Chain A
Amino acid sequence: MKASYPSDREEPVVLGVVFAGILACIYFSFILTASFAPEVLKKIAFGTVPFSFVYGFFVIVSGAVLTTTYVLYANRRQEDRP
């Protein structure tokens, strides 16, 4: 994606778009699985807890991990620039 502003030199635009895409894929895979293959989410993951809970929790954790990675990278990159 083409950067429009001089300030984009400080902003990891490609990384942002890639991470947004990864999170969207993870989230919509959950929505699509629940909509078109709900039996997958009914399978037991552990104890009597089905995969729906594990998958849902995975979506939340994925967002947090991607966010942490992005912020650490972008802020360090900005610090390193003159």
Chain B
Amino acid sequence: MKVALLVSALLLVSLDAQASTGLSNGVSGTAISLFLLVILMTLGITWWSAQRTKSAQDFYAAGGKITGRQNGLAIAGDAMSAGAFLGLTAYVFNSGFDGLVYVIGYTTGLPIVLFLLAGKLRKLGRYTFTDVVCTRLKERPTRIFSACASLIIVAFYLVAQMVGAGQLIQLLFGIDYVYAISLVGILMVLYVMFGGMVATTWVQIIKAVLMLSGGVLMCILVMSTFGFSFSALLDQAVSVHPAAKGILTPGALPKDPVSAISLGVAMILGIAGLPHILMRFFTVPDSRTARSSVLWATIFMGSFYSMLFIIGFGALALLRTSPQYFDGAGALLGGSNMAAIHLAHLLGGDVLMGLVSAIAFATILAVVAGLTISGAAAISHDIYGSLFKHKGEKEAKELLILKISTLVLGVIAVLLGIVFRSQNVAYMISLAYSIACSSTFPVLLLAIYWSRLTTFGAILGGSTGLVGSLVLTILGPSIWVKVLGHAAPIFSIDPPAIITVPLAFAVCIVASLCVGAKVEAPAKSLA
């Protein structure tokens, strides 16, 4: 009932805004109807899931009943986010192969999670990766550090999705960006508060299937335009882009090799520190299924990212010769993050545009729901549940804290989405990767593999990586220049992972060996 009311409100607000402001972007009723249909379907799943979410185990980890293939699709769904689809297509549309550098990098992270972490995570944890670290280290400081790190990483990742969703709603419904992103925030909070991990997982699964299908269809349509010749596609792209053949090879990497290597570090290690991805390994029954789920996820993700070679260059080649998608100033309507949506319209008219928009939006909602659960779980499970909850206190109170945290995170996400509205979403995700691989990843890896890690060393090293990467990111080009408007960055390596990852590992190890040993006994061994 609440869901139906909300969707009706979304439609009414959009129509009212269009009528009162005279704004019209030419998007047809067909596209909007298809869009609303898919959104209603995903909200229906949320309602269905809510009937089956009864315990904290259900809410945080879907009762641990998800199969390997389902979890693989859900992990792939998390990775095939707005950043991947909207942001990367936009990146290729603007800069050619430089966008594909991100595409390639994103595919390397998940295998690293499998090789180093997946099996052990499932064996040692319950709801969050912090549970795993706490099997080795003192619980209170570890949970406080992990929760802080999770919240900062989730915030960066969340903002990227919110910006993509806000721009999409703005384009589709012709409403102001602030209203658009607020509606996204409301829907996101509803998904999580009522459905929990069961709903998030099933929406991810359905959305991943839809997105893969939509991607295949767009690839076929793009390639058919060029007689199924990839060379002809690239020839057309070269002929319409000002950089000509420069778009066929990485152009930004040779200009700043240190930042290039740093980006590589963030791409390959970042996913191993993302709380919402690591949380997925607790939704399956055992470590064998956890491994199988990564195999499925890698296959689905690899296929999807490979399609972006065609979709990205297809957008570049086809949209640049279609003036109807540009405003008077020569900018893409709705912002460059909308290149994939315009390409869908060009290839398949209103029907394909409505479908692709709906898939992209469902993607964003599912991803932000997963992110919000992991962020809220950091507060309710890691901080409240472990530090303040009294023995015998009912589980319901922890779930209440989780729902309040969800609401607060939703408000923060909307506000940050407004501040960061002009950023490319794929790029912003790389910043989240950089912070993740500098904070949670070193602590998690050392906790699993290095028996001499102490609580003091882990907290000091992890905090150094977290604060270092956050401060250097703020002082770097992405925030200091593009958001705060300064002429030049104070710290030019962007992202800062090449500095902060080794620093975090070094501080963890040195502090554990030297200082940590003097103030506490070595971490308890499980061997």
Contacts and interface: CB of A to CB of B under 8 A. Distances in A.
Given A4-B448, A31-B260, A67 B249 contact: no
Interface string A4-35: 11111011010111011001100110111011
Interface stretch (B36-44, B82-90, B227-235): B227-235
Interface string B248-260: 1110011001001
B111 A48 contact: no
B422 interface: no
B123 A7 contact: yes
A32 B101 CA distance: 12
B227 to A, nearest CB: 12
B527 A41 contact: no
Given A31-B264, A78-B287, A52 B250 contact: yes
Q: Give the interface size bracket for A toward B.
A: 35 or more
A68 B295 contact: yes
Contacts of A2: 449, 451
Contact of B100 (A24, A49, A56, A74): A56
Contacts of B448: 4-5
Interface stretch (B1-9, B20-28, B113-121): B113-121
Contact of A20 (B115, B253, B254, B525): B115
Interface stretch (B11-19, B302-310, B458-466): B302-310
Contacts of A47: 229-231
Contacts of B107: 59-60, 63
Contacts of B263: 31
Most buried by A among B97, B111, B250, B526: B111
B508 interface: no
Contact of A56 (B104, B120, B123, B291): B104
A8 B120 CA distance: 8
Interface string B126-142: 00000000001000000
A-side interface mostly: helix
Contacts of A70: 111, 114-115, 291
A42 B119 contact: no
Contacts of B451: 2, 4
B261 interface: yes
A34 B116 CA distance: 27
B527 A6 contact: yes
A52 B120 contact: no
Contacts of B124: 5, 7
B115 A19 contact: yes
Interface in B491-525: 525
B292 A71 contact: yes
B511 to A, nearest CB: 19
A39 B90 CA distance: 25
B257 A49 contact: no
A47 B227 CA distance: 14
A78 B288 contact: yes
Nearest to B260: A35
A17 B115 contact: yes
Contact of B248 (A35, A42, A74): A42
B253 A34 contact: yes
B348 interface: no
A34 to B, nearest CB: 4
A48 B235 contact: yes
Given A53-B100, A61-B302, 7 more contacts: A4-B449, A13-B449, A27-B104, A35-B254, A52-B249, A52-B250, A59-B107
Interface of B: 97, 100-101, 103-105, 107-108, 110-112, 114-116, 119-120, 123-124, 136, 229-231, 234-235, 245, 248-250, 253-254, 257, 260-261, 263-264, 267-268, 287-288, 291-292, 294-295, 298-299, 302, 305-306, 309, 448-451, 525-527
Q: Which 7 A-B pairs have the closest CB atoms?
A: A47-B231, A35-B257, A16-B115, A34-B250, A31-B264, A20-B115, A71-B295
17 contacts: A7-B119, A11-B287, A16-B116, A23-B112, A27-B105, A31-B264, A34-B254, A35-B250, A38-B250, A48-B231, A52-B248, A53-B97, A63-B111, A64-B302, A67-B114, A71-B114, A74-B119
